[in-house]
Amino acid sequence: MHTNNTNKEEKLIYPELSYTITGVCFEIHNKLGRYSREKQYRDAIAEKLGEINIPYKKEFNVKDTGNIIDFIIDDKIILEIKAKRFITKEDYYQI
């Protein structure tokens, strides 16, 4: 996937991968709609990542913290899925 040159200030560490993941998320959201559950989104994203051959780890345990990360994509990007109206401080601290 070729991206435009909007990353002039180098704000994104992995711009190509980030744009691809964003595209996957939008595609899945458009397909499932806004009222699906986190598990449905996770399963659909995992399926799509597999289709486009992007390596990922799903539901990854973070050592002894008790936290589980929804996805680690290509050992570079953490993707946490939230299917709720508002993100809370606790959601932020989970990462």
Domain count, the chain: 1
pTM higher than the cut 0.85: no
Q: Is 29 inside any structural domain? A: yes
Q: Is 8 inside any structural domain? A: no
Q: Is 6 inside any structural domain? A: no
Q: Is 3 inside any structural domain? A: no
Asked whether the predicted pLDDT for residue 1 surpasses 60, the reply is no
Of the given ranges (7-11, 14-18, 21-25), which has the lowest mean pLDDT?
Answer: 7-11
**pLDDT digit string (tens) for 54-81?**
999 999 888 888 888 999 999 999 999 9
Asked whether the predicted pLDDT for residue 4 surpasses 90, the reply is no
Q: Is 68 inside any structural domain? A: yes
Quote the domain boundaries for residue 90.
15-94
Q: Which long-range contacts (CB under 8 A, 24 or more apart) does 62-70 make?
A: 67/94, 67/95, 69/95, 70/38, 70/42
